[in-house]
Structure 1
Amino acid sequence: MTESPVLRVAGRPVGRYVTRPELPARLSPRPYLHPVTTLAGTAVTELSPADHLHHLGVGVAVPDVEGSNFWGGRTFVRGQGPTELDNHGAQRHLSFQLRDPDGFVEELRWVADGGELLRERRTVAATELTDTAWALDFTFALTNTTAQQLTIGSPATNGRPGAAYGGFFWRARKEAEAPRVFTPDAEGEAEAHGRTADWLALAGSTWTLVLAGATDATRRDPWFVRTAEYPGVGSSLAHTERVSIAPGDTLVRRVVTVVADGRLDRTRAAALIRKAVAP
Structure 2
Amino acid sequence: MNRRLIARLDVKMEHVIKGVHLEGWRKVGDPKARAKLYYEQGADELLYMDVVASLYGRNNLSGIVRAVATEVFIPITVGGGIRSLDAVKEMLAVGADKVAINTAATLHPDILRAISDTYGSQATVLSIEAKKLPNGGWEAMTDNGRNHSGRDAVAWAVEGQKLGAGELLITSIDQDGTGRGMDAALIAAIAAEVDIPVISSGGVGSPKHVVDMFRNPDVSAVAVARDLHSGKYTLGDFRGACLQAGIAMRRVDAGLAA
The TM-score normalised by the length of structure 1 is 0.27
Q: Which has the higher relative contact order, 1 or 2, with Cα contacts under 8 A spaced 6 or more apart? A: 2
The structure with the greater share of residues assigned to helix is 2
The structure with the greater share of residues assigned to strand is 1
The TM-score normalised by the length of structure 2 is 0.28
